[in-house]
């Protein structure tokens, strides 16, 4: 069964009032959301972000990654613009799940980088599936975006789902002693662009 729309409501946040749209993926037994602000389908390119769930970074403020700071920066940018969409996909740990991510952390504690850790656990470097965006984009009638991302795979994912990416907007990540190797690995092995 394909991803399907369930319901929408208002969601007041520290960055303003968004609309929250719920979707379910019965095949993967996952639920995803999209936060929108303003008129998202007026034909003008929409400021957008694809954000994969990161419980440790988004909710527990981990310094091992840059996920939480990117999430906050994206919500703030959408609020400042007054119009945009944030796709929050339940694909923890680049698609390997929370408990496997903790196992990967343990391997990283022993010296592996984030890609090596996933591979040592028998996974690919990045297991996320962006085809699930299709139903969300169609439901919200989004066809042109300015995509906030450092990840070229997300630009390709939007285009593969029939959305024109008119601009890639870099999200600046702040390095700290806990995520420095992680950020370097994202650039060197996963092709992330930080400018």
195 in a known ligand binding site: no
The verdict on whether 153 is a catalytic residue reads: no
Q: How many CB atoms lie within 10 A of CB 137?
A: 19
49 in a known ligand binding site: yes
The verdict on whether 66 is a catalytic residue reads: no
30 in a known ligand binding site: no
| Burial category of 179 from C-beta neighbours within 10 Å (exposed 0-12, middle 13-18, buried 19 and up) | buried
- 8 A C-beta contact, residue 102 and residue 125: no
94 in a known ligand binding site: yes
33 in a known ligand binding site: no
36 in a known ligand binding site: no
Q: One of 19, 83, 90, 126 is an active-site residue; which one?
A: 126
Q: One of 64, 128, 146, 168 is an active-site residue; which one?
A: 128
Alpha-carbon distances of 175 from 63, 116, 158, 180, rounded to whole Å? 9, 20, 28, 5
Alpha-carbon distance 23 to 111, whole Å?
Answer: 38
Q: Report how far Cα 141 is from the mean position of its chain's Cα atoms.
A: 19
51 in a known ligand binding site: yes
Binding residues: 49-54, 65, 67, 70, 92-94, 114, 149, 154
Which residues participate in catalysis according to the annotation?
126, 128
Annotated binding site for GTP: 49-53, 70, 92-94, 114, 149, 154
Question: Which residue positions form the known binding site for Zn(2+)?
Answer: 54, 65, 67
């Amino acid at each position: 069964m394909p991803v399907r729309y369930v319901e929408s409501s208002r969601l007041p946040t520290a960055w303003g009032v968004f609309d929250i749209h719920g979707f379910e993926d019965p095949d993967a037994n996952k639920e995803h959301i999209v936060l929108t602000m303003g008129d998202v389908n007026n034909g003008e390119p929409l400021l957008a972000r694809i954000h994969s769930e990161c419980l440790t970074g988004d909710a527990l403020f981990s310094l091992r990654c840059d996920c939480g700071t990117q999430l906050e920066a994206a919500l703030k940018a959408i609020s400042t613009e007054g119009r945009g969409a944030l796709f929050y996909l339940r694909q923890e740990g680049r698609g390997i799940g929370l408990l496997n991510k903790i196992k990967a952390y343990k391997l990283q504690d022993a010296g592996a980088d984030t890609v090596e850790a996933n591979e040592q656990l028998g996974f690919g470097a990045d297991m996320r599936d962006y085809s699930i965006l299709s139903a969300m984009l169609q439901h919200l009638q989004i066809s042109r975006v300015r995509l906030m991302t450092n990840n070229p795979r997300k630009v390709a994912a939007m285009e593969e789902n029939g959305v024109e990416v008119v601009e890639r907007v870099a999200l600046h990540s702040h390095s700290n002693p806990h995520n420095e190797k992680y950020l370097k690995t994202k650039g060197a092995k996963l092709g992330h662009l930080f400018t």
